[in-house]
């Protein structure tokens, strides 16, 4: 059995935490399918100015636990 040297509180999955930098929105849609995100973006673009704001993000960009926490906090 092999044991990996790890530090407490560290995530050793090779991914770095990211901040997508999105502003808050009325509706948030997370999906791993880019086609779904593109479809919702196009549909939202056709709405009038009074429509709720929409934020779209690919779940694959939020693979790191800290990335999810940052996104949810914003």
pTM of the entire structure?
0.69
- pLDDT attached to residue 15: 66
- pLDDT attached to residue 69: 86
User: What are the 10-residue block averages of pLDDT along the chain, 74 residues in total?
Assistant: 50 69 92 94 94 92 84 85
- pLDDT attached to residue 5: 47
- pLDDT attached to residue 40: 95
Can you give the length of the chain in residues? 74
Buried residues in 2-23 as b, exposed as e (16+ CB within 10 A): eeeeeeeeeeeeeeeeeeeeee
- pLDDT attached to residue 17: 84
Q: Which residues are 27's β-sheet partners?
A: 54
């Amino acid at each position: 059995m092999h044991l990996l040297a790890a530090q407490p509180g560290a995530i050793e999955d090779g991914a770095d935490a990211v901040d997508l930098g999105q502003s808050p929105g009325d509706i948030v849609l997370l999906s791993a399918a880019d086609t779904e995100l593109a479809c919702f973006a196009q549909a939202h673009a056709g709405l009038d100015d009074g429509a709720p704001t929409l934020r779209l993000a690919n779940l694959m960009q939020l693979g790191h636990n800290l990335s999810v926490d940052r996104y949810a906090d914003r």
